[in-house]
Amino acid sequence: MQKLALPLYECLPGMIVAESIRNLKNGVVYVSENQELTAEIIENLRNLHCSEVSIYVNSWDTVWKIPKETLETYENCTDKVKPLLQQIASGQNIDLEAFKSIRSNILNDFKDNFKVIGCINLVKYADQYTYTHSINVALLSMLIGKWMKYGENMIESLLLAGLLHDIGKMKINASILNKPDKLSENEFEEIRKHPRYAYELLQYRSDISIDVKVGILMHHERIDGSGYPYSVYNENINDIAKVLAVADVYDAMMSERPYKKKHSPFDVMQLMQEGAFGKLDTKILLTFLTNVANYYVGVYVLLSTGEIGQVVAINPTCVYRPIIKIKDKYVDLFVEKNINIIEVT
């Protein structure tokens, strides 16, 4: 874990001390290594005229402010989704009421956007991807709905569509879904059928709207006609599908999979802004990137120069090249094109 020397006035409760703080004259240890800073400890260090503390970078909760109960709620949602998807895989009927109950839990418990982004950034196990991905796409779709200023009914539809968008994969052999190597052409074609499989599972259900069904069917369509399963263009893709597409791509890139390592958030934002422009709905994509980038202000990053700095401002025209504070200097990555973010530390 990366270490960083911070001025005492920048230290916050919850940070983890990386090197013991001691009296240099008599060797008395004031704060031991790996101890968590509290408001009282910081005040004591101030009274002892301590000017600097070595802490582990991003080892505290102040960036995301995720309370224990929120983490438990997130894990509970994942735990509830898992058996529901497994039931579908075994050929049982979809328990739509159970999915709607999870939607209600999310609406009630995830009103704070910081909590949502924090949960999306949690380290997850690759073999749990299918289950966490369903929750994450639902959460991200809800956020996009808010940022697009959609009404309550639309946000509820987006949440349900996010939870259900990949149920078609439950009809695909697990050996293909979890294959660590590159898929064969036939295997890839089978994967591409999952939106149709999902629609077939839902098409005769009267307790789910046609907009949600079509949104799930089309969440891999692209506005330039390059998507699947029907290669339709912009005007023929509904808004639910367009939102799902952005949420799905972001979480897939942010997650570690059997065949790839996860990207940093800034890599993902660059890939989406450059690589997906013209494929994902422009207004939805830019609204999402502009808003989500602001939640990374305050995180520490490792730069290609070997330096560690803190993100202090987001450039709205190029969200993946923010302004970084390194000790007492500021580096604008939009200007300094030769410096890149290697990872969030």
Query: What CATH number corresponds to the domain at position 23?
Result: 3.90.105.10
**Shared-domain flag, residues 238 and 105:** yes
Does 161 reside within a domain? Answer: yes
Domain finish residue from 262, 284, 310: 262
**Nearest CA among 52, 46, 16, 50 for reference residue 34:** 16
Domain finish residue from 229, 245, 262: 262
Structure tokens at 196: 């149709």
**How high is the pLDDT of residue 345?**
75
**Shared-domain flag, residues 106 and 181:** yes
**DSSP category for residue 16:** B
**Shared-domain flag, residues 225 and 157:** yes
Does 305 reside within a domain? Answer: yes
Does 128 reside within a domain? Answer: yes
Does 223 reside within a domain? Answer: yes
**Nearest CA among 216, 276, 265 for reference residue 241:** 216
Answer yes or no: are the C-beta atoms of 127 and 82 closer than 8 Å. Answer: no
Q: Which residues pair with 343 in a beta bridge?
A: 302
Does 104 reside within a domain? Answer: yes
Q: Give residue 65's region: left, alpha or beta (phi > 0; psi -120 to 50).
A: left
Residue 144: CB atoms within 10 Å: 25
CA end-to-end distance (rounded Å), the chain: 7
**Shared-domain flag, residues 114 and 185:** yes
Task: Name residues of the chain where pLDDT drops below 50.
Answer: 60-62
**How high is the pLDDT of residue 61?**
45
Domain of 25 in residue numbering reads as: 3-56
Answer yes or no: are the C-beta atoms of 61 and 13 closer than 8 Å. Answer: no
**Nearest CA among 75, 120, 103 for reference residue 295:** 120
**DSSP category for residue 334:** T
Q: What is the CATH number of the domain that holds 100?
A: 1.10.3210.10
**Shared-domain flag, residues 257 and 272:** no
**Shared-domain flag, residues 31 and 132:** no
**How high is the pLDDT of residue 27?**
79
**Shared-domain flag, residues 178 and 41:** no
Domain finish residue from 242, 262, 282: 262
| 53-85 confidence digits (pLDDT tens) | 888 876 544 455 677 888 899 999 999 999 999
**Shared-domain flag, residues 86 and 220:** yes
CA 175 – CA 137 distance, rounded (Å): 23
Does 61 reside within a domain? Answer: no
Angle, helix 68-89 to helix 129-147, in steps of 10 degrees? 120
Q: Outline where 54-149 has alpha helix (H).
A: 68-89, 96-109, 113-120, 129-147
**How high is the pLDDT of residue 9?**
83
**Shared-domain flag, residues 220 and 276:** no
Distances (CA, A) of 26 to 22, 29, 48, 122: 8, 9, 14, 42
CA 215 – CA 232 distance, rounded (Å): 13
Does 63 reside within a domain? Answer: no
**Shared-domain flag, residues 278 and 254:** no
Query: CA quadruple 109, 243, 122, 258: dihedral positive or negative?
Result: positive
Does 301 reside within a domain? Answer: yes
| 95-150 confidence digits (pLDDT tens) | 999 999 999 999 999 988 888 888 888 766 566 788 999 999 999 999 999 999 99
pTM: 0.85
**Shared-domain flag, residues 281 and 301:** yes
Number of domains in the chain: 3
**Shared-domain flag, residues 233 and 317:** no
